[in-house]
Structure 1
Amino acid sequence: MSKPKIVVIGGGTGIPVVLKALRKEHVDLTAIVTVADDGGSSGRIRSAVNIAPPGDLRNVLIAMSDMPKFNEEILQYRFDESDGEFAGHPLGNLIIAAVAEMQGSTYRAIQTLAKFFHIDGKIYPSSDMTLTLHAVFKDGHEVSGESHIAGYKGQIDHVYLTETSTGEDPIASRNVVKSIMEADTIVLGPGSLFTSILPNIVIPEICEALWKTSARIVYVCNIMTQRGETEHFTDADHVRVLHEHLGTNIIDTVLVNSEKVPKEYMNSNKFDEYLVQVDHDFEALTAQHVNIISNNFLNLRDGGAFHDGEAVAKEIVTIANRV
């Protein structure tokens, strides 16, 4: 049997969990990764070297590689806060930045490192440019810069991207549109709605490809609401916002977690951005003409609520094999 072609779109810490599980399956796997981060190590590097930020790409490279655990720990090693200019930088970010500078492109750097780490699959930054994410709030206020958005006390109406240096609309990296058009199944998330998923799909070429593709589109809904982004959101609200940004209802299937997060489990000091568990509104989901797969996708660890990558991957592969 030929491998079903699965494209996963997103960023942050959500999609690596699913990608790590999917790479063990009999699938042709592609990751399209957001490059709008301007905070922390990634923000400092993009300002200094003028490249697309490496942080989310680093996590995806590791997730899709079968490298030994010690090699992963080397790439994820974060310099101590007392280490001057190196403070807070993961070593993997510096390696990506160095290769990007050598080759004049983050896109080319990731292709080179994918071969270096023997990755069975493809990884593409959503754009090869340095991008700025803008959030327009319901009250008309606008915040520029991904790292600043959660700090404004208001409800986000919509987000959009510009190329940082020119203010122009961003252009998708090569092969991104081709991957979407050739996919059997496209997976959005899991991840922060406004700052990890939407920064990919509001790129005009990617948005248009999602309109045109014949692939089945699956959204993995978040388990917890997120401070400054999705406070008081139901699962149907997440889907509604995606459709509003896309301009049409294109999501075919939604995966929602049915397992309850135990009260007082969440470590609010460690995961202060997460608020409460996302409520279900199956009636509103059905009104958006999506299929609902409700199951136990919960993985409780380290005081946080995460997706069980194996359980999510199993559902995605089942969907892909039906296409």
Structure 2
Amino acid sequence: MSHTSYTCLGGGHGLYQTLTAARVAGASPINAVVTVADDGGSSGRLRREMEIVPPGDLRMALAALTSEGDGGSMWRDTLQHRFGGHGAMAGHALGNLLITGLAERLGDTQAALDQVAAWTGSAGRVIPVCPQPLDIEADVAGLDDDPRVLRSVRGQVAVATTPGAVRRVRLTPAQPAASEAAVRAILDADVVTIGPGSWFSSVIPHILVPEIAQALNDTDARVVVILNLSPEAGETHGFTTERHIHVFSQHAPQLKVDYFLADEHTATSAGERDNIARAAARLNAQVVFAPLREVGEDGTALNRHDPQQLAAALQALRPAR
């Protein structure tokens, strides 16, 4: 039986749901290519103290891929365990410390991630998008009395929580080298997903890495951008689905994308859907609407992708290249 290989780009909870969907789809192998710009919380502290790639999003991806069964469940809980209290350990996730300690011991973050993957019976490989940490800088409107004035805001947390409107983001360093393993994972995949997640701070930064953008254009894989279910407070407040696609294409106008995948309830009028299709056409992409949203036990729609529905939607996409 031949398997479909997935490479999933993103970070945080959005990537966790996509990796879970890839598992539901029976993908093998699964590669997670993970953002390395986090500068808040436990990750930010470890990044500053140890001068390493921030481990939090890497840990989340490892947790999504632990083996089935009780052993995998125990590993997932262990990786995600967060220390309480008010001392030096307070707020640190155990998985972050494990990755950091192994990276120091083995002299290499990728070796550390591969070791944790081996211990946890991982369904795939977790790869930092770049071998060194990155910083995000954004041009933000609305922080000045004059709404036309753009202010520069630096740092993932600052960008994600700004009360202003983010217009554009860039990376520091400006053209970072990608992890060779990340490039290879994109080139070798059958399906590549980008998103969902914090649009300006964990989705768009991937396509600003030149070798990643080149690999996305060179791969024979279906390249699918999974759109967010709703705008996020802070960086994309008030954004329509069309605006999400527009800013994505603004940051990488030469990128080849096959599909934008949106929840069926994101845009209900024909006019809205036409505008969304036009925005996607700038990247020669099609828009597919499908039921993607998780529903709670009480029938309430949640702001989270349902892995079963997402897997079904991804499997239904035809090869487009």
Q: Which amino acid aligns with 1:75?
A: L
Total equivalences in the alignment:
301
Residue 74 in structure 1 maps to residue 69 in structure 2: no
| Alignment match, 1:9 | 9
Residue 134 in structure 1 maps to residue 129 in structure 2: no
- CA 63–45 in structure 1, closer or farther in 2 if over 3 Å, else same: same
Write the deviation string for residues 197-230 of structure 1: whole angstroms up to 9, x where unpaired: 1122211111222233232211111112112211
| Alignment match, 1:272 | none
Superposed displacement of residue 126, structure 1: 0.4
1:161 to 171, 179, 187: 171
| Alignment match, 1:59 | 60
| Alignment match, 2:288 | 293
Equivalent residue runs for 1:52-131 within 5 Å: 52-66=53-67, 67-82=71-86, 84-131=87-134
| Alignment match, 1:240 | 246
Q: SS state of the match for residue 150, structure 1? A: helix
Percent of aligned positions that are identical: 33
Root mean square deviation of aligned Cα:
2.2
| Alignment match, 1:269 | none
- CA 205–321 in structure 1, closer or farther in 2 if over 3 Å, else same: closer
Write the deviation string for residues 60-88 of structure 1: whole angstroms up to 9, x where unpaired: 10101124323322221111132x11000
Write the deviation string for residues 37-81 of structure 1: whole angstroms up to 9, x where unpaired: 000010001111111011111111010112432332222111113
State the distance in 2 between where 1:258 and 1:318 align: 15
| Alignment match, 2:146 | none
**Contact (CA 8 Å) 1:223, 1:278: kept in 2 or not?**
no
Superposed displacement of residue 151, structure 1: 3.9
| Alignment match, 1:225 | 231
**Contact (CA 8 Å) 2:140, 2:150: kept in 1 or not?**
yes
State the distance in 1 between where 2:231 and 2:182 align: 29
Q: Which amino acid aligns with 1:85?
A: A
- CA 99–152 in structure 1, closer or farther in 2 if over 3 Å, else same: same
Equivalent residue runs for 1:138-149 within 5 Å: 138=141, 139-149=149-159
Equivalent residue runs for 1:14-25 within 5 Å: 14-25=14-25
Superposed displacement of residue 322, structure 1: 7.7
**Contact (CA 8 Å) 2:162, 2:235: kept in 1 or not?**
no
Write the deviation string for residues 95-150 of structure 1: whole angstroms up to 9, x where unpaired: 01101111222222112211121213222110110211111225331111101113
Superposed displacement of residue 248, structure 1: 2.4
State the distance in 2 between where 1:24 and 1:310 align: 6
**Contact (CA 8 Å) 2:160, 2:198: kept in 1 or not?**
no
Write the deviation string for residues 159-205 of structure 1: whole angstroms up to 9, x where unpaired: 11124xxxx63211121112212222211111111111112221111
State the distance in 1 between where 2:50 and 2:8 align: 28
State the distance in 2 between where 1:249 and 1:174 align: 20
| Alignment match, 1:283 | 274
Q: SS state of the match for residue 238, structure 2? A: coil
Q: Which amino acid aligns with 2:44?
A: G
- CA 8–279 in structure 1, closer or farther in 2 if over 3 Å, else same: farther
Residue 27 in structure 1 maps to residue 37 in structure 2: no
User: What's the TM-score, normalizing by structure 1?
Assistant: 0.86
Q: SS state of the match for residue 299, structure 1? A: strand
Q: Which amino acid aligns with 2:307?
A: G
State the distance in 2 between where 1:14 and 1:50 align: 26
State the distance in 2 between where 1:42 and 1:320 align: 38
Superposed displacement of residue 10, structure 1: 0.3
State the distance in 2 between where 1:71 and 1:111 align: 15
State the distance in 2 between where 1:161 and 1:74 align: 32
**Contact (CA 8 Å) 2:216, 2:255: kept in 1 or not?**
no
Q: Where in structure 2 are there 5+ consecutive unaligned residues? A: 142-148
Q: SS state of the match for residue 159, structure 1? A: strand
Deviates more, 1:187-196 or 1:300-309: 300-309
User: What's the TM-score, normalizing by structure 2?
Assistant: 0.86
